[in-house]
Structure 1
């Protein structure tokens, strides 16, 4: 019986790629979820202050923020959460399967804490003023701890997706070896810091509406301190986080990310520090529109590039540095009885072993060579690279527009190195399939060149007619 790769159909999204679909949904979800977790700690700390200093007027703000949270975080989060599951399941089913087989009980525990969190936020909002303050404070702390527990459990899974940092899990297959990886604590600290900063920024939107100037001043300064603590803690955690990354991720971060990302993130960091410092100094001058704008800046110019960068530096892997983003298994994992797909691909190729190859491409002819090359290229590359001239890491630009088939073929035959460190491992395609992919990629470059020449000619024609 012929050996078949355990692969699923490939989900190809033109131009933006499946990664951007996941990234857009994920960024919205992270904004909602981190605001929720950060706000839960804001509520606990602020309510502790209200009880200790006998300031029941602070509870009005907590109730207002809580109602906002129910709409902003728990409705948007409840929509985007399943959206992430849908997107990642169709984009990388093998990756999701690997995560579920490792962390099914961790996810089950996370859902228990999430249930406590959802019940807690409703109880917190609707029981203000209806039960005694100290009992309500205990309820608020339960809500805060349950919220942070959901983050803690998810971070263990996300950090495993980056890498393990040691060989233990590959040999044992233990969930604990997978969960407590090298990247875990730094990643948890980084996300905890961000939750404080974003909760402080979002909180300013509601603080600006408080009519009592004393309460407004008190709360705005509290939010500013919380936000600044999050920013400075985040800088420390980021330095630690970088040290826990694999070498290939560091190389991608230094050499392959778009040049605008680092300056943009530094600008957002500086603006956030100035914003919180200013709101602490002049709390009554904080306007709701300005707070909304600052939150949007943090989300669009801060969170989106950061999440995109984290996803990019993990490539070409999707989990544990043993599953590539294209679903193939890149190494043996004895602890899970998993064997690498690469020897089978090297021996027989994708067209002979992929279960979803069209029957018309099982046999290569003079008329279907480009279609066969396109199929292999999209299966092996399109999860990370756009096949169009624009979009996410377009292959045409990676190849610098080359139309030389032999040159492209040689490029595909080796790993990409920076110094002595490979940041993009070699995919061992058979000679014939490398030839087919090279011909297809060369045709893309030719098409792009022709299209560009046509557009230039049309533009020059319009200019001449204008003259």
Structure 2
């Protein structure tokens, strides 16, 4: 019997592995978007300062640049490594699939990132130490390298949603994967958002420069705020275009689960940010830390976190390219890569017999170990998208079954909609009877508690229970 190319399952109690990646990713997005957007604000301010002989504007650029070095390039770099660590252990096959498709794209992105890091140091510490033209060239090179890192990553992130057509599945070409139907819309949203985040942080810098002349603060604020307004308008317009590029499963998830929860908050963030920018432009000297810092946190927590969670959730049940499920199962054939679906193989042999990291003591289901087997199977099959503890925040399975302790009812759902693949945003899970009832027993026991576990006769002669062919 052929073993699957699976890895050990990484599961974080209560919040699940998805929230670990989400929390790290949100911090990284705030830092990285600020750095890319700020690069263009610096280019705009430097161009204005040199053309109009306004060297005092470079004092603002220098102050902002030093903050950027700590906020974006230390926090952003650390969380960038954190994302790699988190996705590698939580979604190893998805990560491997992306690397096999985009290894040279990532290599190019790292080259641009190196230019970006060198560029921000040169931009900040060479002010007034090199001639204006040289410094302006460095500033624009920094801006373009920063945006190039975003462009390359967006191509990969967009492929994670879906290729949009059958070309990539047939050719396996990096170009077919990168220039997918979602790419330009996603790039537009990110480009607009980066300017918004950069201006919000820029207003924090301006509000803290109380020792500088009022004229400098007014000039800096009124120069950057229009960029934030234009960026916000671009992000909103491209977001509506983005919605039209989504696959069916994403639209179902969006309208049935995500918009009812997050739509009001998203509208509130856009409205308050727009009002904030107008007020800052009208009254630049009124900016204070007690205004700018809470508004930054408001946008980061109420704006960026739901946006990132929504984008990640809309991909479900897939983690990459609509061919790898979140539970690491290969869901469809990809002839261009020589990849075959594993759904039927799992249906025939079960997970217990063909997953290489199942303990030998759990490969056969018995009355004594059925709940333990069910817990392991639930973590393998469901733990990437759901937590397993009642009341926990990540779409926990016990609450999804409304606290049911009916093993038959839970098993019927697994043997019905999940087995048939009729729920667009959940993976097709087709398991032998004994594995299905093991999962159902575990979920029911979570609602009963440890003292009252459900009991059900077990036929250990079933092929799915013994792992035999």
**1:139 counterpart residue number:** 138
User: Conserved in 1, the CA contact under 8 Å of 2:387 and 2:395?
Assistant: yes
**1:69-108 equivalence runs, <5 A:** 69-108=68-107
Query: Which residue is equivalent to 2:343?
Result: 342
Question: Counterpart in 1 of 2:153?
Answer: 154
Once residues 442 and 273 of structure 1 are traced to their aligned partners in structure 2, the CA distance between those partners, rounded to angstroms, is 48
CA deviation profile, 1:213-268 (whole Å, cap 9, x unmatched): 11111111122211111111111011011111111111111112374421111111
Higher mean displacement: 426-435 or 163-172: 426-435
The residue that corresponds to 1:363 in the other structure is: 364
Alpha-carbon separation, structure 2, partners of 1:257 and 1:406: 30
The corresponding residue for 2:400 is 398
Structure 1: unaligned runs, 5 residues or longer: 452-467
Matched, 1:249 2:250: yes
Moved more, 359-368 or 259-268: 259-268
1:416 positional shift: 6.5
Change (3 A) 1:449 1:58: farther
Matched, 1:238 2:252: no
Query: Structure 1, residues 286-338: CA drift from partner, whole Å, max 9, x if none?
Result: 11331111111110111011101111111111100100111110001010011
The answer to whether the 8 Å contact 1:201/1:223 transfers is no
Is the CA contact 1:196–1:230 (under 8 Å) kept in the aligned structure 2? yes
Over aligned residue pairs, what C-alpha RMSD do you find?
Answer: 1.7
1:426 deviation in Å?
Answer: 2.5
The one of 439, 442, 454 equivalent to 1:440 is 442
What CA deviation, in whole Å up to 9, does each residue of 1:60-88 have, x standing for no partner? 11111111111111111111111111111
The answer for the alignment partner of 2:295 in structure 1 is 294
Query: What is the rounded CA distance, in whole Å, between the counterparts of 2:247 and 2:301 in structure 1?
Result: 27
- Greater mean deviation of Cα atoms: 216-225 or 439-448: 439-448
Structure 2 SS opposite 1:166: coil
Question: SS of the counterpart of 1:318?
Answer: strand
SS of the residue 2:258 aligns to: coil
2: CA distance, partners of 1:312 / 1:45: 36
Matching of residue 431 in structure 1 with residue 420 in structure 2: no
Distance in 1 (alpha carbons) for counterparts of 2:215 and 2:361: 75
Give matches, 1:53-452, under 5 Å.
53-210=52-209, 211-257=212-258, 259-389=260-390, 390-415=392-417, 422-447=424-449
Hey, what's the Cα distance between the residues in 2 that align with 1:308 and 1:440?
28
How many residue pairs end up in the alignment? 448
Deviations 1:181-223, CA, capped at 9 Å, x for gaps: 0000000010110000000000011112332111111111122
Q: Deviations over 1:102-129 (max 9, x none)?
A: 0000000000000000111111111100
- Asked if the contact 1:247/1:421 (under 8 Å) is kept, the reply is no
Secondary structure at the aligned position of 1:269 is classed as: helix
1:205 and 1:289 in contact (8 A); partners too: no
For the pair 1:24 / 2:19, whether they are aligned, the reply is no
TM-score in terms of structure 1 length: 0.93
- What is the deviation of 1:405? 1.5
Q: TM-score, normalised by structure 2?
A: 0.93
CA contact (8 A) 1:415 1:425 kept: no
Deviation at 1:391, TM superposition (A): 2.3
CA distance in structure 2 between the aligned counterparts of 1:395 and 1:227, rounded to whole angstroms: 41
Deviation digits for residues 405-447 of structure 1, max 9, x if unmatched?
2211110123369xx8733242111222112111221111222
How far, CA to CA, are the matches of 1:117 and 1:127 in structure 2?
15
Distance 1:216 1:432 in 2: 69
Inter-partner Cα distance in structure 2 for 1:449 and 1:38:
56
Q: Following the alignment from structure 2 to structure 1, what is the Cα–Cα distance between the partners of residues 423 and 181? A: 20
Q: Matches of 2:352 and 2:326 in 1, distance apart?
A: 19
Distance in structure 2 (CA, Å) of the matches to 1:314 and 1:422: 10
1 CA distance for matches of 2:148 and 2:332? 32
The equivalent residue for 2:458 is none
Indicate the SS of the match to 2:449: helix
The Cα of 1:393 is off from its aligned counterpart by 0.4
